Structure 1
Amino acid sequence: MRAIMKSEAIALMVIATCLEERKNKRKRRIWAKTWLQKREKFSHVKLLKELETSCIGDLKNFLRMDNNNYTELLSMVQPLIIKQDTFMRDAISPHERLSATLRFLASGGTFQDLKFLTGISPHSLSNIVIETCNAIRTTLKEYIQIPKNEQQWKSIAKGFETQWNFPNCIGAIDGKHVAIKKPPGTGSYYYNYKKSFSIVLMAVVNSNYEFIAVDVGANGRASDAGMFSKTKFKQKLDEDELAIPNPDAIPFNENMFPFVFIGDDAFPLLENLMKPYSHTNISDEEHVFNYRLSRARRVVENAFGILASRFRVLANKINLDPHKTAVIAMTCCYLHNFLMSKNRRHYLRDSVDIENTQTAELQPAHWRSCSQLPKLQALRGGNSSNTAKDVRSMYKNYFNGEGAVPWQYEHVTSLTRSIYKRGNSEI
């Protein structure tokens, strides 16, 4: 009996020893690796300081903005991301947090890759990036605003009329898929027509390539106008809460034309939303309308192209849950508008399509030759109201009559027709 009790006691001692060793191991795992504890020595901050004095171009490439804009942004977000030092360790500074976040957005790399550049653990980076993105969205919230009154809408319409010869247009709408890793337990909920998983970034853009409304997070499976119908923007449009001006006259025509948004085949035809005519059995007049709409709608295509080429995180598969991915996508849109407001000409340099109206040639932006965000699937079928069809006919007749521009017939060629038949993706 005593032997048994002694054996049991020994067994309990062995078990206790093993548990203590495991506990100690777990405690040791809490602490960072030795080289990560030397962040001050190995961090990218020293590299940024060197680039600031020796290679300004590389500094801008690293941060996707010049040092002045970065300094301004840092001063804005610092109160929201600053942390206190503790007795055990020094806090990661706002400068390290913001610059690491911007590099993540710019490179589209992983947190594992970024740890070697920043000297910050992947777990800490995952928290830092989302926290900093939320801070950026908070401080830059004024940079994406839906117009609040008729005068602001008319100002946007004036831009489309002056720059793109499309009067009473108050915004170009488009949506793109942002690739994500399949979230656990979601089945095919985020599975899109491209046979990948995604969430959808929906946006409205003004004539200057600036976002005026952004909605992100819809599951990629709903790859048609269904996702547009669920956006806050569409709900406000349906409920007449956007303060859109009443129909107004346009140049050389006394008829009252409704103010409209413009979109591609993925969207429904509505009284305030114009889309192209079907490319099947299209007439010359309808083809002219399609060209004029497509010409003005390029602003949103270019805005998305610039966004994905400048912030490469959007061009890669993001290994985060859909909510965090939505935060990242929204942050990129806010940064886009912020940088546009600082130096629009420099920001857009070589990044937008250039049209030569004399030779009928289109020089594509450089982003079109790179991987870009997948388009939404074209809407199949669906009934449009007679009112919506009448509005489109009004614009069609105008573009073929008193509103015609001299170069439009140079573009309406057999080559252009074939491009439209392939889905209007190259114009």
Structure 2
Amino acid sequence: MDGQEEVALCGAACVVVCSLLKKKRRAKPKCWVRPFLKRREEETERFLEELKVDPLSGFKNFARISCEDFEFLINAIGPLIAKQDTNYRKSVPVSIRLAITLRYLGSGDSYTSLMYLFKVSKELISRIVPEVCGALITTLKENIKIPSTPEEWNTVASEFDRLWNFPHCMGAIDGKHVVLQAPAHTGSDFFNYKGQFSIVLLAIVDAKCMFRYVDIGCKGRISDGGVFKNTPFYANLQQGNLNLPNPYALPGRNEAIQPVLVADDAFALDVNVLKPYPGQHDKRTKERIFNYRLSRARRIVENAFGILSAVFRVLRKPILLAPEKAQQITLTCCYLHNFLMKKKSSSQLYSPNGFLDTENADTHHIVPGAWRHDAPNENFSPLEHVGRRPSGSAIAVREEFTEYFMTDIGMVPWQEERA
């Protein structure tokens, strides 16, 4: 390097140093925490304690969960989300972190609204909610479980036969669109047939409205058949990896058939998936009776979705988050659904008497559940119904069930009146 290059280099260095010295220093913040947020410890924690002792069960309405189960979740997820205090500020306690998340899921309020309620900044809430949801999914992961043995599948089928008079049934399947705000830089990937942006929640539900399998995140533009066929469950079903019971005949019949899922017109008829006969049918025909019996069993999944969106009202509004976070939010609601349905202390709060569809013991008329009388949920819309030609073996399975429902063993006394 000659002398001229050294001079030029030193000159450039001097220019950089001078520009850095002249650059204005960042103004020091006037305070580390906004004044009204400093009252969190004395106001928010006292507010939660007052709700817990409210004789009118204010806490249950506020958090959608009983005090006992709230404490259970605090102990379960505490080690995963607890933070340490610093020299500048105190950390947000686990109880408030959980309360913020449950209130967000239960009400769908914006982060700004929650900031004024809990005295926690919306920037911190935007980190708390995904973190707590991840911890809840990890803690409650055993609450949604696919049967893994033929005996467990037979237990599910027995419940369907006992409660809903539909044998050989391993679950009711349906899908719903969970609406989002338009994701950035995704074009029409999430644009569904109803003119909204969404991800799809596909679920298989047992006879007691419990989720047995959920798949969340399929882009809203994908057709109904593609949603199911894109799931790992479908791949395992086709490969025979679900440990289903061996095919056996319906009572009083000779043809051995595989266990089936009951579905609506949004799904393709298959040897493992039954759907209604299309079109209108005269009263007391075998096709109309089959459709009635199928509907009795399939409405269980509608009830599960109805409870889910009636209690966790974040699903009633367009979720203003990225698709990945919306998927996490929806999955958390599904895990909490099963958790609360199982817990005695919260089951009557979550699904009180009369909330689900019931059947009159004398007339066998369907009594609509209270969730159906709630405000219509336009953004939790069903999948599109599209016709297609099924295989011959799938038609044969549906015909076998149709003939079975007309036999003395398979019929129920009131089916011709209701069909």
TM-score between the two structures when normalised by the length of structure 1: 0.88
Match of 1:216, SS?
strand
Distance apart, 1:30 and its partner CA: 8.7
Match of 1:365 in 2: 369
Distance apart, 1:87 and its partner CA: 1.3
Match of 1:7 in 2: none
Q: Is residue 360–residue 410 contact of structure 1 (8 Å, CA) maintained in 2?
A: no
Residues in 2 aligned to 1:105 and 1:164: alpha-carbon distance in whole angstroms: 32
Instruction: Indicate the percent of aligned positions where both proteins have the same amino acid.
Output: 42
Match of 1:225 in 2: 225
Consecutive aligned runs of 4 or more in structure 1 exceeding 3 Å deviation: 12-18, 29-32, 249-255, 280-283, 344-347
Change (3 A) 1:126 1:29: farther
Change (3 A) 1:15 1:148: closer
Whether 1:375 and 2:379 are equivalent positions in the alignment is no
Distance apart, 1:253 and its partner CA: 3.6
Q: Is residue 357–residue 407 contact of structure 1 (8 Å, CA) maintained in 2?
A: no
Match of 1:214 in 2: 214
Query: Which moved further from structure 2: 155-164 or 229-238?
Result: 229-238
Whether 1:352 and 2:353 are equivalent positions in the alignment is no
Residues in 1 aligned to 2:282 and 2:236: alpha-carbon distance in whole angstroms: 33
Change (3 A) 1:93 1:345: closer
Whether 1:35 and 2:18 are equivalent positions in the alignment is no
Match of 2:332 in 1: 331
Q: 1:400 aligns with which of 382, 385, 406?
A: 406
Opposite residue 289 of structure 1, the aligned amino acid is: F
Residues in 2 aligned to 1:127 and 1:224: alpha-carbon distance in whole angstroms: 34
Residues in 2 aligned to 1:110 and 1:29: alpha-carbon distance in whole angstroms: 27
Residues in 1 aligned to 2:83 and 2:169: alpha-carbon distance in whole angstroms: 46
Residues in 2 aligned to 1:274 and 1:293: alpha-carbon distance in whole angstroms: 8
Distance apart, 1:392 and its partner CA: 0.5
Opposite residue 377 of structure 1, the aligned amino acid is: E
Residues in 2 aligned to 1:282 and 1:74: alpha-carbon distance in whole angstroms: 56
Q: Is residue 179–residue 199 contact of structure 2 (8 Å, CA) maintained in 1?
A: yes
Change (3 A) 1:282 1:197: farther
CA RMSD of superposed structures (Å): 2.1
Residues in 1 aligned to 2:102 and 2:323: alpha-carbon distance in whole angstroms: 20
Match of 1:295 in 2: 296
Q: Deviations over 1:96-130 (max 9, x none)?
A: 10111001000011101110111111111111000
1:135-214 map, 5 Å: 135-214=135-214
Distance apart, 1:31 and its partner CA: 3.4
Q: Is residue 156–residue 170 contact of structure 2 (8 Å, CA) maintained in 1?
A: yes
Match of 1:54, SS?
coil
Match of 2:49 in 1: 49
TM-score between the two structures when normalised by the length of structure 2: 0.90
For structure 2, which runs of at least 5 residues remain unmatched after alignment? 1-16
Q: Is residue 315–residue 371 contact of structure 1 (8 Å, CA) maintained in 2?
A: no
Opposite residue 288 of structure 2, the aligned amino acid is: H
Residues in 2 aligned to 1:103 and 1:32: alpha-carbon distance in whole angstroms: 23
Distance apart, 1:55 and its partner CA: 3.1
Q: Is residue 209–residue 299 contact of structure 1 (8 Å, CA) maintained in 2?
A: yes
Residues in 2 aligned to 1:29 and 1:256: alpha-carbon distance in whole angstroms: 77
1:310-329 map, 5 Å: 310-329=311-330
Match of 1:116 in 2: 116
Match of 2:3 in 1: none
Q: Deviations over 1:48-68 (max 9, x none)?
A: 211212235211011111111
Match of 1:93 in 2: 93
Q: Is residue 178–residue 200 contact of structure 2 (8 Å, CA) maintained in 1?
A: yes
For structure 1, which runs of at least 5 residues remain unmatched after alignment? 1-11, 413-427
Match of 1:271, SS?
coil
